[in-house]
Chains A and B, each alone.
Chain A
Amino acid sequence: MNRYDLTIHQAHQLLKNREVSSIELTKAVLEHIAQVEKKVHAFVTVTEDEALRQAAQADERIKSDDLTPLTGVHALIKDNMCTRGIATTCSSRMLENFIPPYDATVVEKLRYAGMVMVGKGNMDEFAMGSSNEHSAFFITANPWDLARVPGGSSGGPAVGVATSEAIYALGSDTGGSIRQPAGFCNVVGLKPTYGRVSRYGLVAFASSLDQIGPITRDVTDSALVMNVIAGYDPKDSTSVNYPVPDYMKSLIPDLNGLKLGVPKEYFVEGMQDGVRQAMRTAIATLEELGATVDWEVSLPHTKYALAAYYIIAPSEAMANLARYDGVKYGFSYEGKNMWDAMEKTRGYGFGPEVKRRIILGTYALSAGYYDAYYLKAQKVRTLIRREFEEAFERYDALITPTSPTVPFKIGERVDDPLQMYLSDVCTLPINIAGIPGLSVPAGFCDGLPVGMQILGKPFSEEVLFRIGYAYEQATGWGERRPQLEKGVK
């Protein structure tokens, strides 16, 4: 086994038993990053100095037996979470030179637990996109086929974990941005319940939908990261003061007594046959593990989720991005006068997808259209949320594909916004409802990964972990790694 090819729990054992030091691990990982980055471009910034400094500190803690499961273990942080003294760009020209004066709460918690941060992960600009093609800097490639997209918007973090450039990563998910790239890269991605993890220091996209969560090699690692980042934060008024369990206790390798539902609306038109096939096999495995499965669940409002989402998210984004005016921080253009400077600052600072969404949101909120679009979408949001609530009275969890297709080719959808939006059709209803969703590796179709999405009622992450863990133990799909060194397509 390579020195960097580890899960959190494997690295922790090695560190705890003093079989390797965090400095040794860090040097091995940094060398590996230098090699792999030439092919995949998952990092906006590699934080080498920071990593070596934190590794030295971690080794001190390990010497005095003051270690947590994350002490000395390498993390990649999506570049929309503030890191004190380290550029946080959102993969945008607008924030290319922005150095945050403070840490996001999740970053602070991970530092306290002994994180070694190796870098900041590439993403679609301001987290708006499903392929990483909307990064203003460069496109991250899918390690399973370099001609294909890694998914988005947390494409860099997902690729970093898939290629062992980092042992775990933090992503953010507004409509599927953790789960869809996790599914596309054969890793585990969790979008927690809205309010479970603090958003303080996360650059805001759509505040009623955004949530931070872990991207990891396996479900155990996801539970380990959640044990650290979950919880109430007085700095985020939408974080919920609800007890945080020990998520490790939910890792039980059977599903006896669990009732699962399969909503038929998620097996949509245009879904790839290989994905459908992989899902049937996966769900049959869940039955073998002891769960009772109802294959005929119906959530009829699912078909309205895409339209509701693409009204609500741009409307919130338009308000959140109003702050980029070239005055307080970020890109600033010298114009003829105040208005000219502001319009050019925003015109040059934002890329095409961000502009598209700002305009869409402004339109949906403008006089005369507010009732027809924004208010209507918020009412439909209520119906979608209620539909899930009713389903969870009958089922412990719902099972769907994470995405209707395997990773698509770079360039295939970038000029057709609606096609791009459709790649999130299975993930965005979950943000609308605010419920948790976990994507786990569920097999392959033509050599490309397929993700299975597990959904539960608010604050039921333990149930999702149990199902994901039992499935992972029974199948081992996530143990397959992309072969970058040889046979790269």
Chain B
Amino acid sequence: MKLSREEVVHIATLCRLGLSEEELERFQEQLSNILENFDILQQVDTSDVPPTAYPIPLENVVREDEVAPSSPQSDILANAPRQEEGYFRVRAVLE
């Protein structure tokens, strides 16, 4: 599977990853190479095989809704790059 430059640009946009020209070029080649190696999976007959998402069978883990102490707001905001009046400050979504 050969990736085109446009595809790499499109994927980088989907995951909001700013890439330099040099990175775009390098990743295009390396990822094409890696994806080619993944073709081996098409040899495996997986009809009637269910997918595994987790190695242990678990479903709907629930707990009692009990009151317990939570971290103080100041602790959580201490790592925020920008904050205002006890909130995370974000940039304008609509301009």
A interface list, Cβ under 8 A from B:
97-99, 101-102, 194-195, 208, 234, 237-238, 240, 301, 303-304, 306-308, 310-311, 318, 322, 325-330, 332, 335, 337-339, 341-344, 346-348, 350, 352, 355-356, 358-363, 366, 372-373, 375-383, 385, 417-418, 421, 432-435, 458
Contacts and interface: CB of A to CB of B under 8 A. Distances in A.
Of the listed residues B8, B18, B20, B56, the one surrounded by the most CB atoms of chain A closer than 10 A to its CB is B18
A378 B81 CA distance: 38
Contact of B17 (A308, A350, A383): A350
B79 A417 contact: no
A310 to B, nearest CB: 7
Contacts of A350: 17
B91 A360 contact: no
A433 B49 contact: no
A238 B54 contact: yes
Contacts of B3: 363
Interface in B47-91: 49-56, 58, 61, 63, 71, 75-76, 78-82, 88, 90-91
Interface string B34-46: 1101101111101
A301 B44 contact: yes
A381 B52 contact: yes
A410 B44 CA distance: 36
B80 A327 contact: yes
Contacts of B52: 378-379, 381-382, 385
Contact of B88 (A327, A339, A352): A327
Given A352-B23, A360-B34, A338 B58 contact: no
A376 B42 contact: yes
A435 B93 CA distance: 45
B16 A346 contact: yes
B41 A304 contact: yes
Given A356-B30, A379-B44, A380-B41, 18 more contacts: A101-B71, A208-B53, A237-B61, A301-B44, A310-B38, A311-B38, A322-B15, A325-B16, A329-B79, A335-B91, A337-B95, A338-B93, A347-B19, A355-B23, A359-B27, A380-B44, A383-B44, A383-B49
A388 to B, nearest CB: 10
B47 to A, nearest CB: 9
A378 B53 contact: yes
A356 B27 contact: yes
B20 to A, nearest CB: 8
B49 A238 contact: no
A97 B76 CA distance: 14
Contact of A375 (B8, B43, B51, B63): B51
Contacts of B27: 355-356, 359
A98 B35 CA distance: 34
A332 B12 contact: no
A352 B23 CA distance: 8
B34 A310 contact: yes
